[in-house]
Amino acid sequence: YCSPFYNVQSFKAIYAGFIYPFDNEEDWDKVEIGDEVLPPPLERKSGRPRKQRIRDADEERPSKKRVCKLCHVPGHNKRTCPIREQGGTKGMSKAKKTQSRGEGECEDEANMQQQTHEQVNSQGNEQVNSQANV
């Protein structure tokens, strides 16, 4: 069932006559508004609020520019980096990368602490072994 209001004949009949626009806003009829129309009260939903609005299905998504983690150049990522393909950073270890940033001193201290910890453990094991032999 379909209402006759939605038929093509009724649509054509509605717009058969001319619709004359007003020249300016001053020619509009004055309307007395009895009550002010207010928006519905704001209801806070449960859960975490959204950071972005929900986009429509036909609306284009905002694109993010890819930036390479190795060379910081947009347009490619770490896997497809031309520097990596040439072998520029393939053999670099983390220690070399941090030293180039000026953080190598902290890493050297950590290595020294680890070495002294290993030395203490080995000395303790030697003492235990010497006591076991006695």
> How confident is the chain (134 residues) per 10-residue block, as mean pLDDT?
88 87 82 80 88 84 82 88 73 48 53 57 53 53
Helix (H, G, I), strand (E, B) or coil at 49: coil
pTM above 0.75, yes or no: no
pLDDT in the model for residue 94:
47
- Here the tokens at position 65 are 């520019």
Helix (H, G, I), strand (E, B) or coil at 67: strand
d(CA 117, CA 123): 10
Question: What is the number of residues in the chain?
Answer: 134
